[in-house]
Every structure is written in C-alpha cells, then in structure tokens.
Amino acid sequence: MTIVSTLITPIAAEFDSMTLLSWFASAYFIPSAATQPLAGKLTDIYSRRTGLIFCYILFGTGCLLCGLARNQAVMIAGRALSGAGGGPMNAISTFICSDLLPLRRRGLWQGMGNIIFGVGMSLGGLVGGSLHDTWGWRYAFLLQVPFTIASGLLVFFLVKIPVKKTEVSALERVDFLGAGLITLSLLLLLVGLNSGGNQVPWSHPLVVTVLPLSVVCFLAFIYVEDKIALEPIIPVRLFLHRTVFSACITNMLSMMTTYVYHFYIPYFIQMKGATATQAGLRFIPHAVASSVGSFASGLAMRLTGRYYLTSCLGMLSYVMGSAFICTLTFSSPAWQTYLYLVLVGLGLGTMLTVTLVAMIAAVDVKDQAVVTSASYAFRTTGSTMGITVASAVFQNWLNRSLAQALVNLPQAEEIIEAIRDDYHKIAALPTAALRYEAKESYLGAFRAAFVTALITVVLASLASLCMKEHKLHKTLTRK
C-alpha cells in the first residue's frame, strides 16, 4: 500500500483529479475490509494455502489493471481487485502463525513478521517514488506482478496446513450477507463524505440520502450478525468482551491516523519541492521504527507474559508524534519530519502487536481466526475512514480558504478547481501575494487533516486503556 502513497500526486495529476484522492485509496480498502472477515471461515473450509494463492491472483490482476489503466474507472477497478486480494493475504498469514504457535511465543513471531512487513513499508514509498522518477508511476504497479506470481508459487510448494472443515455444508454457513452489508455501508459513507462540500454542497440530496443509508446498512449488519447469520463474520457476542471490543476500536482509530499520514505527508513533502523519491525516503525511519516497536513489544511480552504497560507506552509515543506533526510548516527542516514519524512508527508497531495478542488471549482457541479477521477488518475499515474523513476535511478547508483568497480573480471558480486538482497550477497565479495565499490555503488544509489524525489517535489511546490483562500461555493447549 505504501508504494502508492508517494504516487498519489502524479497519478491524480495525470487523471486531473486530486479531489478524488480518497477514491484511489478507499477503492483498495473497502473490498479489503469486506473480504478479510470472510478469510477465516473460507480458509477453514478450503485451506490456508488455497486462500493465499487465490488472494495473490486477485492482487496481481489488480496491479496489472492499474499499470495499464487509461482512465479513472479502470484505475479504481484495479485498486478494488488488489484490495480484495491484499486484505485477506495479511489475515491468512496471521492465521497460519496462530495455527502453529502458542500465545507466549506468538507475540515475538508477530513482531518478527511485522519487521518484514515494516521493511516492505519502508521500501514501498521509496521504490514507488524512484520508479516514478525514473520510468513513470505505471511501473510501480506492473513490477509487482512477477513478485506476486513468485509468492504464489512459494505458497503452493511450502505451505502445508491441514484443512479444518471439509463439509460442503460449511460453505452455506459463511456470512456473505454480512460482508455485503458492511461493504455497502462503507461505500455509501465514502460517497457521502467525498461528495459533501467537495463536489456538491452538504445539503445536496445525494449527501443527505447516502449518509443516513450508510448508518442504516451498518445497523442492518449488526442485526444480521446478531440474529440471522449462522456463523457471523464478526460475532456480536465477542464484542461484548471488553478486551476484544477495545482492541478492535484501538485498531480502527489508530489506522485512521496512520493512513492520513501515509497519504498526506508525501503530498505535503512534494509540495515543499521534493521529488516522489525524496518523499519515500522520509518514510523509511517511520517504517523501521514501526518494526522496532513491534519486535520490542513482542519480546517484552515473551519475557514478562504481560502487555498492558507496553501498550500504554506505545500509544504515548503515537500521540506525541502526532501532536508534533501538527506543528509542521513548509519551512520545517527535514529532520523534524523524520523524528516525528519515528515516534509515530514506534507507537504503531507496538499497537499492532499488542492488540492482536491481547485479542487472541482473551478468547477461546476456536475463536482465534474470527477475532484475527475482526482485527484486520477493523484496521482496514479505519484506513478507509481515515482517508475518507481526512480527504473531506482537507478538500473542504482548501476549497473555502482558496475561495476567500482568490475571490477577486476573474473566473475564480475555474482557477480554484484547477489548483485543487493540481497544486502546480499555483505557479500560474498572476502575483506573488496570491501565490503565497494559495500555498497558505494548502498549509491550512494539511494542518486540518493532521489535527483530525491527532484527534483519532487520542481516542485510540483512550480505547486501549480499556483492555484487560490476560494470561499469555506458553503452550498451544493453554495449560
């Protein structure tokens, strides 16, 4: 996902639609959120290996479509296919670890896995930016296809996990209705928030229709999970458990913050005059810090058998880094961005490891795959909501601020729209004073998005305090 974060600006500029940034991101996350909860049930039936290979096929096909896309519709379709494969891919890998490892060792191995994940995150933005600066952004997608094929072959030959359920009737019990309702709810939310104050007024019939419908679909999803689904993708009974519920909310709110930074900080850095490659370089310390936080928290859990204090320290680092990010300006030195993202990364890595282990420790062995799927689903939902909400805040602030700054220009509305779609158009403004005001409008919009991220991570920290300490057993039988 990070390979795309440094490419959003050139992609949106090519399609002349920076105001649709949230669609490029959310087209990945919505299918990901819908398919992740199904991954546990389906791979219990068809095997972890089959599920992983199918995910690689979807992900690779989506990357190929994105690399060949000549219009927004194909690009968004490719992102959706990639998300449908990429989301469950992470969840299934986690299931395999849970199938093979006891809880006391689980945190350490999760930390090691997150190091590998962190290396990928750190290289993603850099590789994406370098490929764009060298050959163009399309190669950032096309070059993922052969790696996806190679990964699928490795899984085919090396992953040997027995099938847990072989009955054909088990497929009939999979909660496709619940997955459809949560997908529709997220899609309607995205349409409403992306349109309101951005493409149409907040009072427009489209907005006042789809936002309430999103709530209705979500309530219907809760009803289906509680009363209708034979094997719900997110069992309501589990969310009556304090630790499971608070860990899921922590995941969702934390990922809202994380993906605001992943998409808007590269955008911010490129507005300062940096290349896509340089924007990617700024995220390497963040990803390294995330890996360190994940591994260190896993090691601490293995040595102590506890996780609550580790969680508190991680979230404190996350909040501090987020607060400092809100102080950045276009004249801030590069070291500040590096340092603040390191604090965020340490907190993020700790949160990802601790909350997952806490959830698994809080439930019976038979519910491990379900709560793991729920954890990833809440993360992906948070990613979608974070980008969607931040985009709405950013674009509304920018639109209002530019309208005030450029109100006296002839054809002001067309000029404002052009600047919102491509910040390079600021250079065409007739006076230095107007160019300064336009840049200040952008800075205010960035800061509004960063403050939104700060608010969500503070709420995530409060949610994490509600987790209870559970025993981390040393054996798979939990004895």
Structural domain including 246 reads: 2-159+169-175+230-464
What average pLDDT does the structure give for the chain? 84
- The tally of domains found in the chain comes to 2
Read off the pLDDT of residues 50-85 as tens digits, 9 standing for 90 and up. 888 999 999 999 999 999 998 888 998 999 999 899
**15 with 137, same domain?**
yes
Give the chain's length. Answer: 479
| Residue 299 pLDDT | 87
**354 with 378, same domain?**
yes
Tokens of 353: 């490891």
- State the pLDDT confidence band at 446, using cuts at 50, 70 and 90: very high
Q: d(Cα 442, Cα 423) in Å, to the nearest integer?
A: 9
| Residue 110 pLDDT | 64
**283 with 294, same domain?**
yes
**33 with 23, same domain?**
yes
**224 with 239, same domain?**
no
Of 229, 249, 264, the one marking the end of a domain is 229
- State the pLDDT confidence band at 261, using cuts at 50, 70 and 90: very high
Question: Which of 234-248, 293-307, 364-378, 431-445 is predicted most confidently?
Answer: 431-445
Average pLDDT estimate for 423-451? 91
For residue 142, tell me if it sits in a domain. Answer: yes
Task: Record the pTM.
Answer: 0.78
**Of 243, 378, 379, 355, which is closest to residue 298 (Cα–Cα)?**
355
For residue 75, tell me if it sits in a domain. Answer: yes
For residue 475, tell me if it sits in a domain. Answer: no
Q: d(Cα 230, Cα 182) in Å, to the nearest integer?
A: 17
**194 with 298, same domain?**
no
| Residue 237 pLDDT | 77
Q: d(Cα 240, Cα 246) in Å, to the nearest integer?
A: 10
| Residue 235 pLDDT | 74
CB atoms within 10 A of CB 131: 23
**398 with 262, same domain?**
yes
Of 184, 200, 229, the one marking the end of a domain is 229
For residue 474, tell me if it sits in a domain. Answer: no
- State the pLDDT confidence band at 212, using cuts at 50, 70 and 90: very high
**198 with 304, same domain?**
no
Give the CATH number of the domain where residue 362 resides.
Answer: 1.20.1250.20
**365 with 377, same domain?**
yes
